[in-house]
Structure 1
Amino acid sequence: MPQRRLVTSRSQEPRQRFAEELRRLRAQRGDTLRQLGDRLGWDYSLFGKMEKGETLGGPEVVQALDQYFGTPGMMLALWELASGDRTQFRERYRQYMALEAEATSLWHFAVSVLPGLLQTPGYAREVLAAGGLKGEALDQQVEARMGRRELLAGEDPPQFRTILSEAVLRTPLRGPTQWRQQLEYLLEAGEQGEVTVQVAPFCAGLHGLTNADVMFLRLPEGRTVAYAENGYRGELIEETTPVERLQRAYDSVRDLALTPAESRKFILRILEEVPCDPST
């Protein structure tokens, strides 16, 4: 029996198909590239490059597109096929990002790295490069991470609290200028009404969150979920008992942490210790 031919005008090459679907969805919505960029919080030129097949964008960008166009998971699946990397954006992290977008408040603990929501481009680039990314993939991930900061810059942002282990602030970037910019941005973010920054100093000793970053998401229906991440894997936790256990550990760390005012002074002292960049 002869093989059945696929009757469709759409490309079967993954990268072209991804670009075609993005053009089709935008046209169907009646948006210009600039309007799409304004509504999603990314530079409109990124979407132009994506529609031309010049770049695929990062997973956070594609997740935002799925939410905006009402195509849950479709664009992300095409993106995974086009990028050839099905491990980069695992199912549970997809779920986490969808929940993060609708959360009314977020509580975070950082054991070694600043949360993505408070990273500068220079910090994000060095952290992602240390994880092995380079070239176009690195550029895409940095741009996507910067786009995520829009979550705290909207008209009705969720409340966000982060408790930073002192180790986070004692691990500088290689470039003093970039590190100074990151610390200044952290101080600036802490002055926003919906953002609270605290530091858990070394003298606080061991505690229940010593080995992992944790983010708690308070959802509109009143339930709380958690996302715990170490250097090798992340896990979305939705069951009530383990979430409550992690919350108790978080509460104990918050009791040990410096107050927001004390934390600000602590960060200012570290900023004063940053050497001047000899190249400037």
Structure 2
Amino acid sequence: MSVDAEGTETDEPGWEVDPDDESGAAVVATVGRQLRLRREAAGMRAAEFGQAIGYGEDLVYKVESGTRIPREEYLDKADKVLRAEGMISAMKQDVAEVRYPKKVRDLAKMEAKAVELLSYGNHNLHGLLQTEAHARALLGTRRPAYSQDELERMLSARLTRQSIFERSPAPDLSFVLEEVTVRRRIGGRSAARQQLQNLLEVGKLRNVEIQVMPTDRWDHPGTGGKIQVLKFPDGSAVGRTDDEYGGRPVSDPRYLRILELRHGIIRAGALTPQESQAFIERVLGET
């Protein structure tokens, strides 16, 4: 949050509308239009309204024009000042998803519907397995760096996806982790220990299998990058891999069979879930 000399919040990066996100842009534009109509109906100028809710005039115009995603507190303050009796605050639900990048929203939606997930990661732990401290530190390594606001949005979106572990009926989740992703102390020793303990806890869930691929087993079909396959109740599926199909999600059964074959070979060459638990415990003891 940035504040100007008069104590009002000014614009900052991380809350702009993605021009490629048509559905998200439509939601923000509708909310902005409703805010402008209510403000004008109340006989308030943009500068006066901005002063009343603690935001700069320029930011008010951006929100009303649909180029800026309003914060929850913006909507709550607007509701109070415009005496909307909860009608504006109710729009928080409409913009909640838009706050997260479209690719993250789409992934979360697919994961929420999946009955089975197959994942192999050769560089980082899967987002569903990351603790908050690990995820924050990992996102912090990105260059060019995220703004603080962008980082918080990405972190919130990543942690929200982990509600998949609370679903009933629970989906079957299979993760194969490269040894290096278990050993790398992302965020330092304390964060690494928390992360390893989380892997051990998640690995005990009946619907979850976590396997570790030892570094000395190089002859497997995962050296080209991560692999993920999501299967849905209607029998359909979607998958992706880093080194083929342009890295884009694919749903063609021919391509999915290839991804499942690769993942199956990788699983077969990795440590068993029981051996993997013992391996993670050993690494924890060394950390």
- Find the counterpart in structure 2 of residue 195 from structure 1: 208
| 1:223–1:271 CA distance, 2 compared to 1 (3 A) | same
* 2:133 aligned partner, one-letter code: G
State whether residues 224 and 242 of structure 2, in contact with CA within 8 Å, keep that contact through their aligned partners in structure 1: no
Q: What are the residue-to-residue correspondences of 1:63-102 with 2, within 5 Å?
A: 79=98, 89-90=102-103, 95-102=106-113
Gaps in structure 1 of 5+ consecutive residues: 1-7, 23-46, 55-65, 275-280
| 1:96–1:174 CA distance, 2 compared to 1 (3 A) | closer
Q: TM-score normalised to the size of structure 2?
A: 0.66
Q: What are the residue-to-residue correspondences of 1:136-151 with 2, within 5 Å?
A: 136-151=149-164
Q: 2:36 aligns with which of 2, 6, 11?
A: 11
- Find the counterpart in structure 2 of residue 123 from structure 1: 134
Q: What are the residue-to-residue correspondences of 1:1-280 with 2, within 5 Å?
A: 9-11=34-36, 13-16=61-64, 48-49=72-73, 51-52=75-76, 79=98, 89-90=102-103, 95-131=106-142, 132-229=145-242, 234-274=247-287
Of all paired residues, the percent bearing the same amino acid is 26
Q: Structure 1, residues 31-63: CA drift from partner, whole Å, max 9, x if none?
A: xxxxxxxxxxxxxxxx84473499xxxxxxxxx
Cα separation, 2, equivalents of 1:268 and 1:194: 20
Secondary structure in 2 matching 1:11:
helix
- CA deviation after TM superposition for structure 1 residue 174, in Å: 3.9
State whether residues 120 and 182 of structure 1, in contact with CA within 8 Å, keep that contact through their aligned partners in structure 2: yes
- CA deviation after TM superposition for structure 1 residue 100, in Å: 1.9
* 1:51 aligned partner, one-letter code: L
State whether residues 131 and 194 of structure 2, in contact with CA within 8 Å, keep that contact through their aligned partners in structure 1: yes
Cα separation, 2, equivalents of 1:97 and 1:174: 25
| 1:176–1:16 CA distance, 2 compared to 1 (3 A) | farther
- CA deviation after TM superposition for structure 1 residue 248, in Å: 0.7
- CA deviation after TM superposition for structure 1 residue 123, in Å: 0.5
Higher CA-based Rg: 2
Cα separation, 2, equivalents of 1:250 and 1:119: 21
| 1:184–1:21 CA distance, 2 compared to 1 (3 A) | closer
State whether residues 19 and 50 of structure 1, in contact with CA within 8 Å, keep that contact through their aligned partners in structure 2: no
Cα separation, 2, equivalents of 1:164 and 1:53: 46
Cα separation, 1, equivalents of 2:206 and 2:62: 44
Q: TM-score normalised to the size of structure 1?
A: 0.67
User: How many residue pairs are counted as aligned between the two chains?
Assistant: 216
- CA deviation after TM superposition for structure 1 residue 148, in Å: 1.0
- Find the counterpart in structure 1 of residue 53 from structure 2: none
* 1:126 aligned partner, one-letter code: A
- Find the counterpart in structure 1 of residue 52 from structure 2: none
